[in-house]
Amino acid sequence: MYGYIRQGQQAALTREVIGGVPFRVLTVGRGWQRLHVRRLLRCLARQGVRTAVFEDAAWQAAAARYGIRPVPVRALRLAKLEELLDCLCPALSGKTVRLCAGEDGGTARQAAQVLAKRARYIELAPPGQTALAQWLLARYGVAAGSGGQPPAATVWCGTADRASAGPAIYLGEDCAARQEVRYEAAGLAPWPVSEQLLAALLAADGWEASEIHVVSVVSRA
């Protein structure tokens, strides 16, 4: 089960259904009630909660002491890659995209499937991505390389080790720290539409990616 940690008037630990998916919701009270939060975090962990939606980052460090981490958003961003591209660099026909594969070959291959349908060239980084290059050529007829032109955009599938010269989309573990993506999704009120919440709903098979729409992409750099 997922957790959900938010600020409220009175400390409480309740079970709520959000978007059709059950959550254990920890409400952090004000004033002296905050002293009870660590006890409630311990209860969450004992109930098997290992990932949680955090409405803000204030309690992430405390929750981490009990093995509770923020919901990863990589899978959501990968599922919405086409819309992310539409926001940052919609006109890719005839152009080059640099794909930084990182350590997760599965993520890179899924991203390449989207990019092969939109860009003329896919430059793979770091060099030596032989298996991925052969797969791109066999599956989509796309020869890996820059085509002699600078990349119009960069897609990072692993941890970004440097700044990108142009538009960039981050899909690695550090993606939420590098880029804020805002979404719209119907039927969640009164719960805020946050990336972590949508990622949890998608991972729990409670929602389809088509029910979620990218509104904007803002760099945190």
pLDDT of residue 33: 62
The full set of domain ranges for the chain reads: 2-70, 72-221
In terms of residues, how long is the chain?
A: 221
Stretches where the chain sits below pLDDT 70 are: 32-35, 104, 163, 221
Instruction: Provide the strand spans (E) within the chain.
Output: 2-7, 12-18, 21-28, 51-54, 69-70, 96-100, 121-125, 153-156, 168-170, 179-184, 213-219
pLDDT of residue 198: 98
Contact 119, 92 (CB under 8 A): yes
Sequence-distant (≥ 6) Cβ neighbours of residue 136 within 8 angstroms: 112, 116, 122, 142, 143, 144
pLDDT of residue 36: 81
Structure tokens at 83: 């819309």
Q: Per residue in 115-142, pLDDT tens?
A: 999 999 999 998 888 899 999 999 988 8
pLDDT of residue 221: 61
pLDDT of residue 43: 94
**Residue 34, φ and ψ in degrees, nearest 5:** -65, -20
Half-sphere exposure of 219 (CA within 13 A, CB side): 8
Closest CA to 140 of 111, 167, 168, 172: 111
Calculate the dihedral angle through the C-alpha atoms of 97, 101, 107, 110, rounding to the nearest 10 degrees: 40
Q: Is 29 strand, coil or helix?
A: coil
Q: What is the CATH number of domain 72-221?
A: 3.40.50
Contact 116, 92 (CB under 8 A): no
pTM, rounded to two decimals: 0.90
pLDDT of residue 42: 93
Provide the 10 A C-beta neighbour count for residue 50. 13
Q: How far apart are CA 169 and CA 100, in angstroms?
A: 10
Instruction: Provide the strand spans (E) within 36-138.
Output: 51-54, 69-70, 96-100, 121-125
pLDDT of residue 152: 93
